[in-house]
Chains A and B, each alone.
Chain A
């Protein structure tokens, strides 16, 4: 174990949003406009 020293205090952290990235949505290829 890494030597991080003795405990100083305890913190309870509840972020509004967890700092975990969400998968990027799949990018669909743009449709070519149909010729008039």
Chain B
């Protein structure tokens, strides 16, 4: 596949977990640094149980043959739905747009990117004080929103 070339970063939607005044990925506890680009690395390390011939070779992330990369959705609604799946009572979540650049694999509903930085954030259920701390730390707009309603309620 011959890549298309662009000079403008793309914007996608994603969620983060807010731990202290730091953004973390929701699937892996990876920290997103402030005032530095987040750069995807593939951690698909070989298992001692796999065949040597089947070992994944080191590669630039993202790769079509792997699942690595910074994930983002095209539609806000998809990120909101994921927030409802991920919400718990321990951490605050942030929903927001993210700038994506470097190698980007566009998919049917989103993107996997090599480099990323938050574009703006909506704090889901946090406080004005936390919003101010995130705004100062990451230097992006941060607004306050309601905590997401958990997707799975009840015991049925």
* Residues in chain A within 8 A of chain B (CB atoms): 1-16, 18-24
Contacts and interface: CB of A to CB of B under 8 A. Distances in A.
Contacts, number: 107
Chain A facing B: main interface SS = loop
B154 to A, nearest CB: 24
Contacts of A10: 1-4, 64, 103-106
B108 A4 contact: yes
A13 B8 CA distance: 7
A19 B99 contact: yes
In the complex, which range does the number of interface residues on chain B fall in?
A: 35 or more
Contacts of B5: 11-14
Contacts of A7: 64, 105-107
Contact of A20 (B37, B64, B103, B107): B37
Contact of A15 (B7, B27, B67): B7
A1 B27 CA distance: 7
B139 interface: yes
A27 B7 CA distance: 33
A36 to B, nearest CB: 40
Given A15-B9, A21-B35, A6 B107 contact: yes
A20 to B, nearest CB: 5
B16 interface: no
B10 A16 contact: no
Interface in B68-113: 71-73, 78, 82, 99-112
Nearest to B104: A11
